[in-house]
Amino acid sequence: MSAAAWHAAAAVLIVVLCSRLAAARVQPSHGGALATNRRDNVPAGACALTAVPFGYPCEEHKVTTDDGYILSLQRIPRGRRAVGSGLGQPVLLQHGVLVDGMTWLISSPEESLAYILADRGFDVWIANTRGTRWSSRHVSLDSSSREYWDWSWDDLVVKDMPNMVDYVSTHTAQKPHFVGHSMGTLVALASLSEGRLVDKLKSAALLTPVAYLAHMTTPIGILLAKAFVGEIISVLGVAEFNPISSAVTKLIRDLCRHPGTKCYDLVRDFTGNNYCLNNSAVDVFLQYEPQPTSTKTMIHLAQTFRDGVVSKYDYVWPNVNMEKYGQPDPPSYNMSNIPPTFPLFLSYGGRDELADPADVGLLLRDLMAHDRSRITVQYLQEFAHLDFVLGTCAKDRVYNDVISFFNRFN
């Protein structure tokens, strides 16, 4: 294998997030078509696949970003046993990279944060980032084009998140609370640091907060970050990073043959030794995930690891950065700019190999001036990355505390 192809293969490994990438799953929609329910071959959305069978009211919403991406939002306005039509305090849930909003919906009503919030009286909204299964449409671009995928997570900060927050606020006449996981926390932190959402959200709960990545300990993630350089786009020939494409899966197989590479339990090898994540939860997860993202986003995350700072996308060439930013190096996101009175809840785990405690410590250092009455920090020594969204014990260990935090600022 050539050096360039080896780098590409190493980079691709991150997208698996699990040991059975080829397992049965609901296929992502492209070209604007809705995904199909495999059981009866009829069009289905996230509501029909998950919430409705559990007995929850669920609505499908669309919001168009300023740059033309058509994003999907699911809304669970009340719990299964709610009496009356009154709506509670809205909460917006934001997923991480290479997954979509289904991660908040696929566990049981006793374990999924979305259902737990709805049953506790909240009006729950679930975001789906551009390029994922339910958000693959654009007003003028086809999702098979390179132009469609020409974005990084900077664009989620500037476009997706503000547009979704505005949509929820408009439809509820209230400021929502926010819950993010993994890259969903990064987008929120970057937005808050630039003052974009400070006056539009009531508070933010950040599960496995990702800002700095320099201390990431997962060998797979480190291999990715070192390999994911600018030429990856030309090596793969596409700007879309699709984990289930034939080219990607072939490269993964090639990489797994390399001596010393572990491919038998990539959930553990990539995210850490999860404490209360059982096999059945992983099996359900694999029916719906992973999801595509842009190759540019993957490069941007690798830059965050390699450079040790949180900054906008680096185009490498100083003249290109000058054209984009008016300076030769990309501007940094200064987390200490988050207003000290904005309510924050941060929860992280001691076994997390992606959001490493040392990197969370750097973020907390940036937040040292935060009003102590407005920030709650929860450290769970035994938790790893996926425990916070799929763990069977997350309700008792995390979600109840999140709800108590929200209730303080309603």
Cα distances (Å, whole numbers) of residue 135 to 126, 157, 218, 261: 12, 16, 30, 34
> Which residue intervals of 228-294 are DSSP H helices?
232-236, 246-256, 266-271, 279-288
Active site residue 203: no
Q: Which of these is catalytic: 123, 155, 269, 352?
A: 352
Candidates 223, 250, 221; CA nearest to 235 is 250
Active site residue 283: no
Partners of residue 64 on adjacent β-strands: 70
What one-letter code names the amino acid at 4? A
What are the tokens at 36? Answer: 């199909």
> Which residue intervals of 195-349 are DSSP H helices?
219-227, 232-236, 246-256, 266-271, 279-288, 295-307, 318-325
Cα Rg of the chain, angstroms:
20
Active site residue 182: yes
CA quadruple 111, 203, 129, 219: dihedral positive or negative?
negative
What are the tokens at 228? Answer: 């994911």
> Helix, strand, coil shares of the chain as percentages rounded to 5?
40, 15, 45
Q: Which of these is catalytic: 182, 191, 203, 294?
A: 182
Q: Which of these is catalytic: 123, 347, 385, 387?
A: 385
Residues marked as catalytic: 182, 352, 385
